[in-house]
Amino acid sequence: MNNKLRILPVVVLMTMAICAFTAIGDSPDEAAKQRKIDYIYVEAAKQASLDNSGTAFLLYDRVLDMDSNNTFAALNKGNYEIQTAKTQDVFENGLALLKKYYTAHPEDKQTSMYYGQVLSTQGYIDEALQVWANLDTVFPDEKEIKVYYANALVATLDSANIYKAISIYNTLEPEYGQEWATISKLKAYLTANDTTAAFAQTEDMVKRAGNDSKTYLIAGSVYQSLNRPDSALVQYKRACEADSTNGYAYYTLASYYLSQGDSTAYDREIFNALTKNSLEVDIKCEILRTYIANIYDIPEYQPKIRELFDKLVEIHPHEANIHFLYSQYLAYLNDYPKAAEQIEYAVDVDPTNQQWVYQHIAFNVFGDSLQKAIKLGEEAMKNIPGNPDIMYITSIAYSQNKQYDKAEALAKSTVDTLLKAKRQDFNKISQLYTNIGDIYQRTEDNDSVIKYYDLAITYNPDNALALNNYAYALACQGKELDKAEQMSAKAVQKDPESISSLDTYAWVFFKKQNYKLAKEYIDKVLALDENPTAEIYHHAGDIYFMAGDPDEAVKFWEQALELTPDDELLKKKVTHKTYFYK
């Protein structure tokens, strides 16, 4: 259902209010009732003029309860229901009320045209045609009505009606111009499946237009719809030659190549289209999104995409949306320093965009520029107070920078902010409690670790990160290992290729002395992780040792020690080639 229809102007509604009064001469009771109706109606129109549409609707409804034949109240109530309908029944009722007014007042041009537009837009073809035909009869000199009438004739798909519409388009050519008339007639011929007439009309259009890029594009689209791809290609190329700055022409040519399965030509012409200044930036961004969505995960295309973005940034250095899109692509590639650089340009252009401000901080966190992230976060919290996303990511920056007191205080303040909100975001609250639990894990406050991970899971039982970190904390403490196994299993089930979750699962089994399963899962970690951390190597060494492979265990311990040469426990294990608890 399309509710994007124009609303009748307030001045029209007020005029109708004046017209709603009945003539003098009724009985005293009837006159009193009519005065009450008139009073309510005027008050409804007043509320409508003040944009209090809900109140106005209730008042119009009351008028209709008192006088079901009040066509002016029917019009206003019907218009309101059409504009706000969320169900088909409400819309249909609004349309019926509008019809009641139209039937009583067919001479009301503005309202009748509105009714005709509603019918046409919503696909009531026959009813719409009747309205436009009647309007054309009542107002034979109104050119706009004739356009609507002709379009309604075409919409019936009846050949006789379509040729009648073509005749009307011919009469309107002096008013609206040759180009408009030609395009209107082409659409009509194509609707009637009259390919011969459509082809002839196109040929004539090209001959008369001269070297015009837009005309060639129209001709190409007609030929393509007539299944003449070679002729379409000729016209699209002529459009590009006629105006080499026309980005839309190159994009149309690119789309043609895509429809023909020529990906190489498609890529070439997309590049040409996007580098033309004539193409609006918003359109370029939409083209970019569509283009990249099809190839972003193909490695050989990544240099080409970067080249395209770099060229666009050069052409449009101050277009925030292009910098934003580039930052999202770079973030997908995990190139967070470059992503932060691009989103910074976008924020400079529009510092009020809170999502961009948040991402600017986040990309610096992910790119390990923690000092800059903290500085940006502190500035943002001053300029945009109370934004929980900005508070959250700044608390993460504090935590990763080992400023645990600030991280804890800010995370708790963010939770308070979210708990006071009208609509509580349980997922975000759960994330924050997970973050607080992580902070206490680093500071080895075991009781607080359990408390806040419990809260995280209370607010979101499916929080995989909380489940994983909670399980790991219990395993490290040697507590409630069955509970730890259940939570870790759930986290692995949610993301079977998560290195962190698989490592935790392996470590829980190690703590439960199930060394066979521990080795099975640490092997999965080592297979997936191209650059294991010291902790993973350390876990692998311990698990392999207890699983009966001390030689391989020592190799893992040595790899861990290379990454953390100051770890005294690892030194003992490597030196003595055996396992130590502490």
| CB 121 within 8 Å of CB 128 | no
Dihedral Cα 407, 408, 411, 417, nearest 10 deg: -130
Interior CA angle at 299 toward 296 and 304, to 5°? 70
Measured CA to CA, the distance from residue 546 to residue 553 in angstroms comes to 9
> What pLDDT, on a 0 to 100 scale, did the predictor assign at position 9?
43
Q: What is the largest CA-CA distance in the chain?
A: 115
Question: Position of tokens 């106005």?
Answer: 56
> What pLDDT, on a 0 to 100 scale, did the predictor assign at position 40?
60
**Cβ neighbours of residue 213 closer than 8 Å, sequence gap 6 or more:** 239, 240, 242, 243, 246, 249
**Cβ neighbours of residue 19 closer than 8 Å, sequence gap 6 or more:** 72
Roughly how many angstroms between the first and final C-alpha of the chain, as a whole number?
A: 69
DSSP 580: -
Interior CA angle at 463 toward 513 and 395, to 5°? 105
Backbone conformation region of residue 543, classed left if phi is above 0, alpha if psi is from -120 to 50, else beta: alpha
**Of 446, 432, 455, nearest in space to 480 by CA:** 446
Report pTM. 0.60
Measured CA to CA, the distance from residue 297 to residue 292 in angstroms comes to 9
| CB 367 within 8 Å of CB 336 | yes
User: Number of helices and strands (H, E) in the chain?
Assistant: 32, 0
Q: Residue 42: which H helix or E strand, with range?
A: helix 28-49
CA distances from 545 to 499, 522, 540 (A): 21, 13, 8
Measured CA to CA, the distance from residue 390 to residue 375 in angstroms comes to 12
| CB 173 within 8 Å of CB 208 | no
Question: Quick one: three-class SS letters along 272-320?
Answer: HHHCCCCCCHHHHHHHHHHHHHHHCCCHHHHHHHHHHHHHHHHHCCCCH
| CB 381 within 8 Å of CB 390 | yes
Measured CA to CA, the distance from residue 339 to residue 327 in angstroms comes to 4
> What pLDDT, on a 0 to 100 scale, did the predictor assign at position 546?
96
Q: How many residues does the chain have?
A: 582
Measured CA to CA, the distance from residue 180 to residue 159 in angstroms comes to 21
> Does the CA dihedral 412-417-419-420 come out positive or negative?
positive
**Of 279, 316, 274, nearest in space to 291 by CA:** 274
| CB 503 within 8 Å of CB 527 | no
Measured CA to CA, the distance from residue 377 to residue 556 in angstroms comes to 39
CA distances from 164 to 132, 157, 159, 573 (A): 14, 12, 9, 94
> What pLDDT, on a 0 to 100 scale, did the predictor assign at position 20?
46
Task: For residue 326, give both structure tokens.
Answer: 């580039």
> What pLDDT, on a 0 to 100 scale, did the predictor assign at position 138?
92
pLDDT, one tens digit for every residue, the chain (582 residues): 444 444 444 334 444 444 444 444 455 566 665 666 565 656 656 666 666 666 656 766 665 666 666 777 777 777 777 888 788 988 888 888 888 888 888 888 998 899 999 999 899 999 999 999 999 999 999 999 999 999 999 999 999 999 999 999 999 989 998 888 888 888 898 899 888 888 888 888 888 777 888 888 888 888 888 888 998 899 889 888 888 888 888 888 888 888 888 888 888 888 888 888 777 888 888 888 878 877 777 787 788 888 888 988 988 899 999 999 999 999 988 999 999 999 999 999 999 999 999 999 999 999 999 999 999 999 999 999 999 999 999 999 999 999 999 999 999 999 999 988 877 889 989 999 999 999 998 888 989 999 999 999 999 999 999 999 999 999 999 999 999 999 999 999 999 999 999 999 999 999 999 999 999 999 999 999 999 999 999 999 999 999 999 999 999 999 999 999 999 999 999 999 999 987
Q: H-type helices in 384-495, by residue range?
A: 388-400, 404-419, 426-442, 446-459, 464-477, 481-494
Task: For residue 83, give both structure tokens.
Answer: 């504009």
> What pLDDT, on a 0 to 100 scale, did the predictor assign at position 482?
96
Interior CA angle at 533 toward 494 and 365, to 5°? 75
Q: What would the DSSP string read from start to end of 303-371? A: HHHHHHHHHHHHH-TT-HHHHHHHHHHHHHTT-HHHHHHHHHHHHHH-TT-HHHHHHHHHHHHHTT-HH
DSSP 8: P
Q: Residue 170: which H helix or E strand, with range?
A: helix 159-176
